[in-house]
Amino acid sequence: MNQPWENPNYRNERRRLRLVLLPLLLLVVAAAAFLLLHRSSPEKIVEAAAKPTPTRLASSADSPTRQEPELPEEITGGDSPAAPLPGDDSRGETIAARQWAEALFAAGKFSEALEAYMRLAPTDPISRGRAGLCLARLGRWDEAVVEVQKALDAQPDNFAMRKWLAQALYRQNQLEPALEQVRAALALQVDEALLELQAKLEKEIRVQRNYDHARTANFVVLFDGYEHDEMKHMVLDILKSAYAEIGKELDYFPRQPISVILYTGKDFSDVTRAPEWAGGMFGQLDGKIRVPVQGAAGRERALRRVLNHEYTHALLFAMAPNCPFWLQEGLAQYCSGDQPVNAAQVIPLKLLAKGFPREPRAAMVAYLESLQVVEDLVSEYGMARLRRLLGKLGDGSDLEAAFATAYGQPFSRWAEQWRPVTREE
């Protein structure tokens, strides 16, 4: 019974107040829990800006070329949860630590991501595998293989890591161990890319079974000792010059040796499936330069052009995997000493970002135009601006933003106004 002095609506108001405050209280508690699980040091907040998927490419010094398989896929954890860190019984802290490492990796900060993954690695095989991927992105392939192998020792049925290990071993020219990993991965799961790699490995093992090799600090040259023993010295001299001259031009010198394989014309065609007129090929999947050299003796100038062209592709892929195709091919021609020639027509550059036409005449126009674009950019603005463009592309910027940073205007505006300089024939 209400007291005489009590407001008869008081109890109803108090009930309504509880109905309003209770949801607010629950919301505050939930927000606090979320922030606790995802807290990071303010000075270390990284914006997760994933790099675009690298364009598939392989190149010929003379013509449009077949596309190679794309880079090894990133190791993913699937449904496997991260284990708690040693001495920490908070699973939420471990999840936050892995998210932090993922953000660093997505932002292209591979050295910092490597440190973050390695802190998780002792109790988390997935993070150890991701550490291996960071090492690969840093060019430390030997260490990368070791870390991924350790991850597989803990999780032998992890298909993604086994597939990546096969591809990493292939890049190291460890063909038979790579084939062993391919077969082990295919036993876990059917995969079209691995089936293609298996066929490729079986063919290369057969072709290279009796190959010799010559090694310098920066290159490993594999060759048929019977066919190419005398030519290897010429090839090594050309590559030594390319390392110095093109490296200076682009301001980039690889940390790891690059493999160069010299084939007879038939072996080159069998292994690469490139047309007979292809001058050479750089493969993104394995990072190797392949060149047919049968009959190249006495043709040093042509061989130098091909090797410089393919070596430029190797550098550009390491510097900026998302480099547009016209810039890749234009720079490869520029650094191999090709001279620009007037083209009868102009293809919009945006149509040449992912690849060139397959029709021979249109492809030739695309090559000529790409060289003219690079020649005009260097002539008008200098190589320093072009190196800056490559640096921004390598940092993960898209072409519009990277071009604006290097040249002071968006690429789309510049490309719309660009017309090739008319040159005397």
pLDDT in tens, 85-95: 334 445 667 78
How much is the pLDDT for 277? 64
The token pair at 315 is: 């550098």
Is the confidence at residue 78, as pLDDT, over 50? no
What does the alpha-carbon distance between residue 398 and residue 144 come to, in Å, rounded to a whole number? 28
How much is the pLDDT for 74? 41
What does the alpha-carbon distance between residue 198 and residue 182 come to, in Å, rounded to a whole number? 6
Label residue 194 by pLDDT band (50, 70, 90). Answer: very high
What does the alpha-carbon distance between residue 203 and residue 270 come to, in Å, rounded to a whole number? 8
Residues of the chain with CATH 1.25.40.10: 91-207
Mapped onto helix, strand or coil, the DSSP state of residue 263 is strand
Is the confidence at residue 4, as pLDDT, over 60? no
- Which has more confidence, 250 or 138? 250
Q: Which residues contact 154 (CB under 8 A, 6 or more apart)?
A: 125, 128
Q: Evaluate whether 384 touches 310 at the Cβ level (below 8 Å).
A: no
Label residue 60 by pLDDT band (50, 70, 90). Answer: very low
Is the confidence at residue 46, as pLDDT, over 50? no
pTM: 0.70
How much is the pLDDT for 44? 35
Phi-psi region of 274 (alpha: psi -120 to 50; beta: other; left: phi over 0): beta
How much is the pLDDT for 126? 87
Task: Calculate ∠ Cα 408-410-412, nearest 5°.
Answer: 145
Mapped onto helix, strand or coil, the DSSP state of residue 212 is strand
The token pair at 136 is: 């690969």
How much is the pLDDT for 137? 81
What does the alpha-carbon distance between residue 165 and residue 149 come to, in Å, rounded to a whole number? 7
CA dihedral over 200, 206, 207, 209, signed as positive or negative: positive
Q: Which residues contact 147 (CB under 8 A, 6 or more apart)?
A: 121, 128, 129, 131, 132, 135
b/e for 210-243, b at 16 or more Cβ within 10 A?
A: ebeeeeeebbbbbbbeeebeebbebbbebbeebb
Fold of 91-207: 1.25.40
Phi/psi at 55 (5° precision): -70, 135
Q: Evaluate whether 41 touches 248 at the Cβ level (below 8 Å).
A: no
Lowest mean pLDDT among 83-97, 99-113, 201-215, 379-393: 83-97
Is the confidence at residue 32, as pLDDT, over 60? no
The token pair at 393 is: 């592309």
